[in-house]
Amino acid sequence: MKTPRERRCVVTGETAHEDQLLRVALSPDRVIVPDLAARLPGRGAWVSASREAVELAVRKKAFFRAFEGPVEVPEDLAGMFERQLREAILQTLGLARRAGRLAIGYDAARQGLAQAARPAWRIEASDGASDGRRKVDALAFNAAPGLPVLEAFDAETLGAALGRSGVVHLVLAEGPEARRITVLAGKLAGFLPAGEDRDSGAGRG
Residue 201: pLDDT over 50? no
CB atoms within 10 A of CB 197: 22
Position with higher pLDDT, 141 vs 190: 190
- Give Rg (Cα) of the chain: 18
Q: What is the pLDDT of residue 78?
A: 97
CATH of domain 80-191: 3.30.1330.30
CATH of domain 6-75: 3.30.1230.10
Residue ranges of the domains in the chain?
6-75, 80-191
State pTM to two decimals.
Answer: 0.89
Confidence tier at 195 by pLDDT (50, 70, 90): low
Position with higher pLDDT, 111 vs 83: 83
Confidence tier at 116 by pLDDT (50, 70, 90): low
Q: How far is CA 12 from CA 9, 37, 68, 136, 143, in A?
A: 6, 22, 17, 40, 41
Position with higher pLDDT, 204 vs 88: 88
Q: What is the pLDDT of residue 198?
A: 47
Of 120, 125, 181, 126, whose CA–CA distance to 146 is shortest? 120
